[in-house]
A = this chain, B = another copy of it.
Amino acid sequence: MSQRQTPPGVSAAALERAFAAFTRVVGEQWALRSEEDRRTYEDLYAFDAVDQHIPSGAVAPGDVEQVRALVRLANEHRIPLWPISRGKNLGYGGAAPRMAGTVVLDLGRMNRILDVNEKFGYCIVEPGVGFYDLFDHLQRERIQLWMSAPGQTWGSVVGNALDRGNGAPLGEHAERICGLEVVLPDGDLVRTGMGAMSNSDTWAAFKHGYGPSWDFAFTQSNFGVVTKMGLWLMPAPEASLSLRMKLPRAEDAGWAIDALRPLRLQGVISQPAGIGNYLRDAAVRSQRQQWHQGEGAMPDAEVQRMIDTLGIGWWSVRMRFFGPEQVNAAKARVVRDAFAKRTRIEFEEQVWRSGEPLAASGAAIPSVSGLRLANWMGGQGAHSTFSPVLPADGALATAHLARVRARFSEHGFDYYGGFTLGERALIFTSGIIFNRDDAAMKARARALFAALIEDAAAAGYGEYRTHLSFMDRVAQSFDFNEGALRRLNEKVKNALDPRGIIAPGKQGIWPRAYPETRR
């Protein structure tokens, strides 16, 4: 067993004293200090030795007043805290802190659904509420609202939105945030937007309120601990219509992006459209060893054999419309007409009507079956996602795809990825799947990730999110005026959190208190 890691500059005895104080707030049961407890919070999908991101313990408050008390004590004892909601940020670091020795502030016990307003289409939830919880609540209470969720849904509704996660049907979940309650690093409690009026009826109904608007500054942020979130849900539609098309060649992504962009811009397609490669279909249905035994990336011929055998496309293009049936139908006609100018392949269309089984509707139904992809390489599966943002342009996207695929091959990985089209830009995700028990493969995965960052930065493409191990590196790639945005972030960080106790190093933002850990 490794010796207990303490935060930088904190002795084992000082940590003991802090935990004694924390325990008086939350009780013995919720001050978690055993080796087993600590391992619960490690990053299972770590690129590095897990001890680089191992906490010195965890503390789990039961309500906002306990959070405030813990934050005040952390200031007093100078103990850094890493807030997590449910800690399922898989592929980006899970529950683990950026800096070893940081104490995890586990908000999972704060799991109340405080309000679901069917009329206005929103909920107000605490960080511990999972997608499963929210789904079950909506079903049980027969509330005619749908949530949006990522592919793997065991995480937190709040945590996912704060980290700017994507999902279906609604795309970028942070865009649905409307009003936060935040414990600031000094223990003060603020509500943003209209919630700053104590008797407000519109906290979760109207964004921004009066004066500077803070919600987005608390996303991917270490400026405070979010304890409540208003989030916009969608009304359960009377119908949905899905369009899906298989495209046979890697190059087809280019024209498909160019066909989709004007439809997204006009709002004909109002949810993100996805273009995913063959491995996104194959990896949840099979393992690599069924198709290929050797080292290195699968050769093109074997990829083609797999595509043919599984009856999948090189790409699969998917979109869905939700709403009145006649509006969905009119939009689908416009999309089909636009694609008919580019290809003879036809969309597979599926219409769902309210009352039919939800499985075919496109509603977010909790599932973690997609995680099977992690088993692709065999052994104990792990994955991480590299996700730069590109203009929604076919030629740029296919040019960068070629660079990315070459890097995957060079490092011996099968290319897994695709494009999620926003209105003007696309998120180009590439998943690195590796066996976490294979140290050499893990090292190759890390080298691949680093190379991808460099390639993207050279092309002018920044990541919108990244794994703990690369937070500093990605932050460095945002280099305008010698890192002016980082200076702004750190100036505000130091003002709000002079002792640097909330999530030091999160997204490359380091408080003054931890200069030695910097970059």
On A, residues with C-beta under 8 Å from B are: 119-122, 164, 174, 178, 184, 188-192, 194-202, 204-206, 208-221, 223, 232, 234-235, 237, 261-262, 265-268, 270, 322-324, 326-327, 329-331, 333-334, 389-393, 396, 422-425, 457, 460-466, 474-475, 477-481, 484-485, 487-489, 491-492, 494-496, 507-509
Contacts and interface: CB of A to CB of B under 8 A. Distances in A.
Given A205-B392, A235-B265, A270-B270, A212 B507 contact: yes
B478 A210 contact: yes
B217 A216 contact: yes
Contact of A489 (B189, B212, B266, B481): B212
11 contacts: A191-B480, A196-B480, A196-B484, A201-B396, A202-B391, A206-B389, A206-B464, A212-B221, A232-B423, A270-B270, A327-B330
Nearest to A485: B196
Given A485-B192, A492-B492, A164 B205 contact: no
Among A215, A219, A326, chain B packs the most CB atoms within 10 A around the CB of A326
A442 B136 CA distance: 57
A477 B475 CA distance: 38
Contacts of A495: 491-492, 494-496
Contacts of A220: 210-213
Contacts of A463: 210
Contact of A334 (B267, B270, B327, B481): B327
Given A188-B488, A206-B424, A330-B330, 20 more contacts: A191-B480, A196-B480, A199-B460, A202-B389, A204-B424, A206-B389, A206-B425, A206-B464, A208-B464, A209-B462, A212-B219, A212-B489, A212-B507, A216-B217, A266-B322, A266-B323, A267-B270, A270-B270, A491-B496, A492-B496
Contacts of A234: 265-266
Contact of A208 (B194, B206, B219, B484): B219
Given A197-B457, A198-B479, A391-B201, A211 B489 contact: yes
A218 B478 CA distance: 19
A237 B211 contact: no
A509 B423 CA distance: 35
A326 B268 CA distance: 11
A120 to B, nearest CB: 4
Contacts of A492: 212, 492, 495-496
Contact of A484 (B189, B216, B464, B466): B189
Contact of A390 (B201, B232, B330, B465): B201
Contacts of A195: 480
A457 to B, nearest CB: 7
A210 B199 CA distance: 34
A494 B209 CA distance: 21
Nearest to A506: B211
A429 to B, nearest CB: 14
A255 B487 CA distance: 51
B509 A194 contact: no
Nearest to A223: B212
Given A200-B462, A205-B392, A219 B213 contact: yes
Nearest to A488: B190
B424 A477 contact: no
Nearest to A335: B324
Contacts of A334: 324, 326-327
Given A206-B422, A485-B192, A218 B211 contact: no
Nearest to A198: B480
Contacts of A192: 485
B425 A202 contact: yes
Contacts of A219: 208, 212-213
